[in-house]
A and B are shown apart, each in its own frame.
Chain A
Amino acid sequence: MAERNLRVMVAKPGLDGHDRGARVLARSFRDAGYEVIYTGCHQTPEQIVEAALQEDVDLIGLSCLSGAHKHLFPRVVRLLEERDAGDIPVIGGGIIPDKDISYLYEQGIREVFTPGTHLQTILDWIENNVASREAL
């Protein structure tokens, strides 16, 4: 059986509606051949994790531009662990000050991409770090 395409979720936790980056990424992922699930804005961590499990995704990309990333990103990781899905990698992006990045790593966020990152850099990271869970 041929390996299926990666299933990538782009999610917007929290209340901010700054979705320009998330939507550009969703489109780039689709153009790169991934199956993309985009949640739209205003998702709670609970909703994101529920959708990720239902959709059986291989990666969750979180985007937050409101400053609430320190609360919201780790919460997604914790909820995944509680549901025995801690192996789904979570990455994040948005307006994340440098000083917060190491905290997010400690909390289990695998990678953080800040403004100005090339789309290709993100795609390369995915190619090198994410495998289809079905193939595992």
Chain B
Amino acid sequence: MYFSKELLDSCSSLRKKWEDEVRRVVEKHGERDKRFTTVSDHPIKRTYDPLDIQDTDFQNDMGYPGVYPYTRGIHSTGYRGRLWTYRMFSGMGTARDTNQRWQMLLEQGQTGLSTAFDFPTLMGYDTDDPHAAGECGRCGVAVDTLEDFRILLKDIPLDQVTTSMTINPPASVTWAMYCACAQEQGVPLEKIGGTIQNDMLKEFIAQKTFMLPPEPSIKLISDTVEFGAKHVPKWNTISISGYHIREAGSTAVQELAFTLRDGMAYVEDVMERKGMHPDEFAPRLSFFFNSHIDFFEEIAKMRAARRIWAKVMRERYGAEDPRSWWLRFHTQTAGCSLTAQQPYNNVVRTATEALAAVLGGTQSLHTNSLDEVYCLPTDHSVQIALRTQQIIGEETGVDNTVDPLGGSYFVEKLTNEMEEAAWEYMEKIDEMGGMLAAIDRGYPQMEIADASFTYQQQIESGEKTLVGVNKYVTEETEECPLLDIDEEVERSQLERLEQVRKNREERSVKKSLEELRSACRKGDNVMPHCIEAVRNLATEQEICDVYREVYGEYRDPGLF
């Protein structure tokens, strides 16, 4: 029990008096709204007091930072030991363009890299495939072969900088390219650090970057987890992502529940398929959450996430290493909260969301640039976004103490409510037979579609405010300079790909692809074969086509 009986008794009588006063004021003056809710439509009470958290146990539910169940953070010294990593997601045009942007960001004090690939790369198509027409370099950097990767990582010290790569169906291929580059730089695989997103379940649920059906998708993921555990011990082989679930329109609770349940599905698959104990791989599982505009809801979500994951790993899967209980996560401020109207307002939204992520205890953070609502950001807008993190981290003092909101009646209560609601979802998914079965039924997809439709109606009716869109609208348009990816990018990428195809040794390409095919058929781990194939300059699509051939392709069922 958190509070003594005496305190709760006195609180009860004080509360009654206060409620009488409230009734009087509300009768006379009313309130701004009938219902006060979060952006996810979660109801919020007028105020919170000890009675709201009387069943919360200090030791078992809150405790201290760095102590199970880690509600207050995974590190005992929080940001006093080390700030979160400033990690700006970036990538555009050709590998050379992106390498230049990265060099700029590192000079400006960024501490980790994060790669955005273009859509053909994300979907396992080469730039010269018909599916890729018009898309090259637009939403990220185009990568077809190891040759592109060498340019991308030129003069980046891979033993010092960690790199995150947002890529899913072809994750094994791009990771293989990164590994091959590190070896070429003379950096052994045990020394490199970074993350591949490699989370296919949320693709079926939300982001829709898919290639293979769910079952073989999970198989490839377990291959990377196993390979990482054995050969690349500092690499996070999955970034279990709620970000895209939220962007697709979910509520905070849905993001929390579906993400953690996805994580559980990966743990179960590696345990079953690879016969590994959770402590052999769980410490390298990482998470990725969205930080939306509703400040306290986000903080509560992140605190609840840590508590749930710790319990799940210890109690459900029997992990014994505390690092297996830790939920380490990256955060990105909510792209979907930004508005094309009055784009400079986006700086304020992003700052608020970034502050929530910090108070929620994130390990690394991307802050969106004001113009990202239109396209890839300009150098100047990226710098403002990076400075936003630096101001929060190094001026405001919010990181002087660990979990400053711990013990707030409201935040603790909201954390409890998030956890309870997430368990309800996760139990429902268990009853359906697990996450794959639930996805097959379209369950999470339709829950999100319902939530996003409800939100859109609330915006349409004005029940929820979106400044510059449904309130405080201005007639004159406010323009900001935009980054243009010119057509030259596609042409030069096509040229380089053609050169690589011409100059490589076809026989070794064929041989390594054949070995990969045979590994896929036998169910062996694909990673060593992937690395061999990329070294021989097999293209990303050539490798993905082997996967497609052996495992088949997944098509969007088009639920709405």
Contacts and interface: CB of A to CB of B under 8 A. Distances in A.
A135 B249 CA distance: 38
Interface residues of B, number: 42
A83 interface: no
A118 B473 CA distance: 13
B135 A38 contact: no
B374 A38 contact: no
B528 to A, nearest CB: 29
B22 to A, nearest CB: 37
Contacts of A95: 340, 373-375
Given A40-B557, A116-B469, A72 B373 contact: no
A56 interface: no
A15 B120 CA distance: 7
Interface string A86-113: 0000000001011000000000000000
Contact of B123 (A10, A15, A39, A68): A15
Contacts, number: 98
B123 A116 contact: no
Interface in B108-125: 119-120, 122-123, 125
B373 A42 contact: no
B209 A17 contact: yes
A38 B375 contact: no
Interface string B245-267: 00111000000000000000000
Contacts of B340: 95, 114-116
Interface in A1-27: 10, 14-17, 19-20, 22-24, 26-27
Interface centre among A42, A44, A71 (most CB of B within 10 A): A42
B552 to A, nearest CB: 15
B460 A119 contact: yes
A27 B209 contact: no
Contacts of A38: 558, 560
A26 B134 contact: no
- Interface range on chain A (Cβ under 8 Å from partner): 35 or more
Main DSSP-derived SS at the B contact region: loop
B456 A41 contact: no
B43 to A, nearest CB: 24
Contacts of A10: 560
Contacts of B119: 14-16, 66, 68
B274 to A, nearest CB: 29
A115 B249 contact: no
Interface centre among B131, B209, B558 (most CB of A within 10 A): B558
A72 B134 contact: yes
B560 A26 contact: yes
B34 interface: no
Contacts of A26: 560
Contact of B134 (A14, A40, A42): A14
A24 B138 contact: no
A39 B339 CA distance: 27
B85 to A, nearest CB: 27
A66 B139 contact: yes
B18 interface: no
Contacts of A66: 119, 135, 138-139
B534 to A, nearest CB: 22
Contacts of A27: 449, 453, 560
Interface string B314-350: 0000000000000000000000100111000000000
B460 A24 contact: no
B558 A24 contact: no
B375 A24 contact: no
B208 A17 contact: yes
Given A26-B560, A66-B119, A20 B134 contact: no
A33 interface: no
B162 to A, nearest CB: 27
Contacts of A17: 203, 207-209
Nearest to A69: B134
A128 interface: no
Nearest to B203: A17
Nearest to A15: B119
Contacts of A115: 339-341, 373
B375 A19 contact: no
Nearest to B466: A116
A124 to B, nearest CB: 13
B130 interface: yes
A77 B135 CA distance: 19
A24 B249 CA distance: 10
A20 B373 contact: no
Nearest to B457: A119
Given A14-B135, A116-B469, A119-B456, A40 B247 contact: no
Given A42-B208, A115-B340, A23 B135 contact: no
A27 to B, nearest CB: 5
A18 B537 CA distance: 31
Interface of A: 10, 14-17, 19-20, 22-24, 26-27, 30, 36, 38-42, 44, 66-68, 70-72, 95, 97-98, 114-116, 118-120
Closest 6 CB pairs of A and B: A17-B208, A71-B134, A40-B556, A40-B558, A15-B119, A68-B134
7 contacts: A30-B560, A66-B135, A66-B139, A68-B133, A71-B133, A97-B374, A118-B460
